A and B are shown apart, each in its own frame.
Chain A
Amino acid sequence: MKYLDEFRDGKKARVLIKEIEALVSTMTIPAARPLYIMEVCGGHTHSIFRYGLEGMLPKEIELIHGPGCPVCVLPMGRVDDCVSIAENPNMIFATFGDAMRVPGSKKSLLQAKAEGADIRMVYSPMDALALARKNRDREVVFFGLGFETTMPSTALTILQAEAEGIRNFSVFCNHITIVPTIKAILDSPGLQLDGFLGPGHVSMVIGTGPYEFIANFYKKPMVVAGFEPLDILQSIWMVLKQIKEGRADIENQYARIVPKDGNAAALRAVSRVYELREFFEWRGLGSIDHSGVKLRDEYGRFDAEQKFAVPNVKIADPKSCQCGEVLKGVIKPWQCKVFGSACTPETPLGALMVSSEGACAAYYQYGGLKRYKEAV
């Protein structure tokens, strides 16, 4: 495949791994305390497991799989809200596919669909708008989910709905923002992180400027990384180089996609349609100030939270579940009390087991098993 295969070249990977090993050999890294590098984005986690990158890296480097899987950080209460909206009579509830399986306190969207709710899997909010156009006598709600990556497409869909005067379309807005989340991670006690791989797709929208505080205030290096395996290896090398040279900068490995200032048109749509929520509840991380957005009042008629009765009940994460500590990199997935026993991909307790981008599911399915066994 053009523009992909060149970033998956095994020969180049071997060269890069040698470079990484050479760099590591010039650094003093105690065996008991490897370098912890967090990839913030779930897309990176997916690639790391899909290509088996962890097994290729020297043991002095450990990757911590961060909170950047929007499906994983969705609290149970919000899933319950989705189910409640979807079960309205005369409703078509449209969602991205991988949100279907996230457990609510009683059921997932997949179960609600089996019980008769009209829940459709879509690839884009525009597909949901098309459903609204086709079914004028029914209400269509799109489940807006994701970081800044997916935020603009939802915003543009709302603007389109407004332009067309479509009245039977609304959005259940659960979009979240990355910066307060990284800040919350950096502020959490017990945290041991030496550097970050920055999210590629989010940065394509917001640019690299918003991360400067990570370097300036927290003195941690970050490299905004692409999603192909060579991108990730090169970014790890760049983080290592910063650590070795005692620098903390925001660097951009993914310059072929990520402009320094982001995407102006996308940012305009985002600020036109959304405003920050005072706080937003995250699974595993609790409430984080200003970490979510909602529709501005002038777009209230497209806001499913205003249009329909939403229970909005906060459901505590299961007590045994340690998703939060895993998300913050305080413990490894396999160190969680219920990993692989009470919590498996078939019966996920915590959200990290649900999506294939979740650190725990990825470990369980793609190859953390050996390490897990060593630890037991």
Chain B
Amino acid sequence: MNVASFIRTRRLGKVNVDTVTLAHGGGGKAMKDLIDDVFVTAFDNHALAPLEDQARFALAELAAHGDRLAFTTDSFVVDPLFFPGGNIGELAVCGTVNDLAVGGATPLYLSCAVIAEEGIEVDVLRRIARSMAKTAKEAGVQIVTGDTKVVERGACDKLFITTTGIGVIRQRLTLGVHTARPGDMVLVNGLLGDHGAAILCARGDMALDTVIKSDCACLHGLIETLLTAAPGVRFVRDATRGGLATVLNEIAEASQVSIEIDEAATPIREDVKAFCEILGLDPLYLANEGKIVMVVPPGEADAALAAMRAHPLGQGANIIGQVGQGEAGRVTMRTVFGGRRIVDMLVGEQLPRIC
């Protein structure tokens, strides 16, 4: 069935008010108009077009990409909705694309469920949906199903988005957090901590003016380049909440190895360093939205590094450390000063120090 022609003949609803009210979540015409106006208009694609309760796709189409499905979900609650370098919609697409890609999957389809607080401007939703559509298009994925809820003021903070993603993993590729071995090298694809610092600044309560932008980006292209250049790569993970330090601890724990990184080799923007210095934060724990940590066998580390540096999203890539045979689960850092410190998991949220 040619659904595209069907959708084009159906007249799309329009919202004629400025703000979302509970009526837009009520299941009636107002809701249909909101979905049409905001989401269907932006996401327009074959699988979404019939507006069934589910998206449908042929197994054969999926099987052409590999032999295993990858399936992931993530919720986005970032405040503010728009920040230097991105917005909640772009983040919701990139985050789920990256969660698929770090497993070696080709990302194909996303869902988009939104919970909106009554009173949010319809134009804000439109801008966010358009941004999601643009990011998805550039990433080569389709947003094929979704859901819209409106809740009373105070029941959520402006807008929450959940995206779920389906991808396909090609034959013979097995990346795993438990596979790091002593001697393996640890790499990152660029400057760390930008997203976390940008969000903290954008909230405005720090009264600090910086030029730091979120690094929000879809990384599946970079990861494919990496896996082609270094097929022996053991493990890739995006260093989102909890930052580099958290991912390293997860690897050391799961693989029962020690990891030592070199502070001098770990790329952090001067602005981010200064920002952390003033606020008493540690950039190793700041969130990223466009950075991956990789464990690569020693023989392939140079190839991996060269391939990443040749990619626009990996120009700042570096080998930052090595897996060792020390105490299992222990992550340490050789400091620029010549000492060694332990890099542990954060207990809770990173809280600024008093003095």
Residues of chain A at the chain B interface (Cβ within 8 Å): 1, 4, 8-10, 13-14, 17, 42-43, 46, 49-56, 70-71, 96-101, 110, 121-123, 127, 145-147, 149-150, 201, 229, 345-346, 355-357, 364-367, 369
Among the stretches B96-104, B147-155, B316-324, B343-351, the one at the interface with A is: B343-351
Residues of chain B at the chain A interface (Cβ within 8 Å): 205-207, 270, 273-274, 277, 279, 332, 335-342, 344, 347-348, 351-355
Contact yes or no, A355 B341, CB < 8 A: no
Known: A50-B335, A96-B352, A146-B355. A366 touches B274 (CB 8 A): no
Known: A123-B206, A365-B344. A98 touches B353 (CB 8 A): yes
In the complex, residue of chain A having the shortest beta-carbon distance to the beta carbon of B342: A367
Contact yes or no, A146 B337, CB < 8 A: no
B339 — which chain A residues lie within 8 A by C-beta? 51-56, 229
Known: A1-B274, A365-B344. A13 touches B353 (CB 8 A): no
Contact yes or no, B342 A201, CB < 8 A: no
* Bound complex: CA A244 to CA B340 (Å): 29
Most buried by A among B206, B279, B337, B355: B355
* Bound complex: CA A316 to CA B273 (Å): 41
Tell me, rounded to whole Å, the shortest Cβ–Cβ distance linking B248 to chain A: 14
In the complex, residue of chain A having the shortest beta-carbon distance to the beta carbon of B340: A52
Given contacts A49-B341, A52-B335, A123-B352, could you give 7 more A-B pairs where the C-beta distance is less than 8 Å?
A13-B338, A52-B341, A53-B337, A55-B340, A99-B354, A201-B355, A365-B342
Contact yes or no, B348 A101, CB < 8 A: yes
B351 — which chain A residues lie within 8 A by C-beta? 97-98, 100-101, 121
* Bound complex: CA A135 to CA B350 (Å): 28
B277 — which chain A residues lie within 8 A by C-beta? 1, 4
* Bound complex: CA A365 to CA B249 (Å): 13
Main secondary structure of the interface of B (DSSP, over half): loop
A369 — which chain B residues lie within 8 A by C-beta? 342
Contact yes or no, A51 B341, CB < 8 A: yes
CB contact between A149 and one of B207, B332, B340, B355 (< 8 Å): that residue: B355
A356 — which chain B residues lie within 8 A by C-beta? 353
A17 — which chain B residues lie within 8 A by C-beta? 338
In the complex, residue of chain A having the shortest beta-carbon distance to the beta carbon of B347: A345
CB contact between A97 and one of B337, B338, B341, B352 (< 8 Å): that residue: B352
A346 — which chain B residues lie within 8 A by C-beta? 347
Known: A1-B277, A52-B335, A123-B206. A366 touches B342 (CB 8 A): yes
Contact yes or no, B337 A52, CB < 8 A: yes
Tell me, rounded to whole Å, the shortest Cβ–Cβ distance linking B347 to chain A: 4
A150 — which chain B residues lie within 8 A by C-beta? 354-355
* Bound complex: CA A224 to CA B341 (Å): 25
Tell me, rounded to whole Å, the shortest Cβ–Cβ distance linking A22 to chain B: 17
Known: A49-B341, A367-B342. A10 touches B355 (CB 8 A): no
Contact yes or no, B354 A14, CB < 8 A: no
Contact yes or no, B336 A10, CB < 8 A: yes
* Bound complex: CA A118 to CA B337 (Å): 42
In the complex, residue of chain B having the shortest beta-carbon distance to the beta carbon of A57: B339
Tell me, rounded to whole Å, the shortest Cβ–Cβ distance linking B278 to chain A: 9
CB contact between B354 and one of A98, A127, A345 (< 8 Å): that residue: A98
Interchain residue pairs with CB less than 8 A apart (6): A13-B338, A17-B338, A43-B353, A53-B339, A99-B354, A357-B353
* Bound complex: CA A139 to CA B338 (Å): 49
A100 — which chain B residues lie within 8 A by C-beta? 351
In the complex, residue of chain B having the shortest beta-carbon distance to the beta carbon of A5: B336
In the complex, residue of chain A having the shortest beta-carbon distance to the beta carbon of B278: A123
B270 — which chain A residues lie within 8 A by C-beta? 1
Contact yes or no, B341 A367, CB < 8 A: yes
Most buried by B among A122, A123, A127, A355: A123
Known: A10-B337, A50-B335, A123-B206. A146 touches B354 (CB 8 A): yes
Contact yes or no, B355 A70, CB < 8 A: yes
Tell me, rounded to whole Å, the shortest Cβ–Cβ distance linking B343 to chain A: 9
Interface pairs A-B: 3 shortest CB-CB: A52-B339, A97-B351, A97-B352
Contact yes or no, B341 A50, CB < 8 A: yes
CB contact between A46 and one of B338, B340, B353 (< 8 Å): that residue: B353
Known: A1-B270, A1-B277, A51-B335. A71 touches B354 (CB 8 A): yes
B348 — which chain A residues lie within 8 A by C-beta? 101, 110
* Bound complex: CA A87 to CA B355 (Å): 27
* Bound complex: CA A10 to CA B340 (Å): 12
CB contact between A229 and one of B207, B273, B337, B340 (< 8 Å): that residue: B337
* Bound complex: CA A97 to CA B355 (Å): 11
Tell me, rounded to whole Å, the shortest Cβ–Cβ distance linking A62 to chain B: 16
* Bound complex: CA A272 to CA B206 (Å): 29
Contact yes or no, A8 B355, CB < 8 A: no
CB contact between A98 and one of B206, B207, B352 (< 8 Å): that residue: B352
Tell me, rounded to whole Å, the shortest Cβ–Cβ distance linking A347 to chain B: 10
Known: A97-B352, A346-B347. A56 touches B342 (CB 8 A): no
Contact yes or no, B353 A14, CB < 8 A: no
Tell me, rounded to whole Å, the shortest Cβ–Cβ distance linking A74 to chain B: 11
* Bound complex: CA A128 to CA B163 (Å): 38
* Bound complex: CA A138 to CA B355 (Å): 28
* Bound complex: CA A78 to CA B335 (Å): 37
A97 — which chain B residues lie within 8 A by C-beta? 351-354
Tell me, rounded to whole Å, the shortest Cβ–Cβ distance linking A331 to chain B: 21
Tell me, rounded to whole Å, the shortest Cβ–Cβ distance linking B333 to chain A: 8
* Bound complex: CA A121 to CA B280 (Å): 14
* Bound complex: CA A282 to CA B335 (Å): 34
A14 — which chain B residues lie within 8 A by C-beta? 338
* Bound complex: CA A229 to CA B274 (Å): 17
CB contact between B338 and one of A1, A56, A366 (< 8 Å): that residue: A56
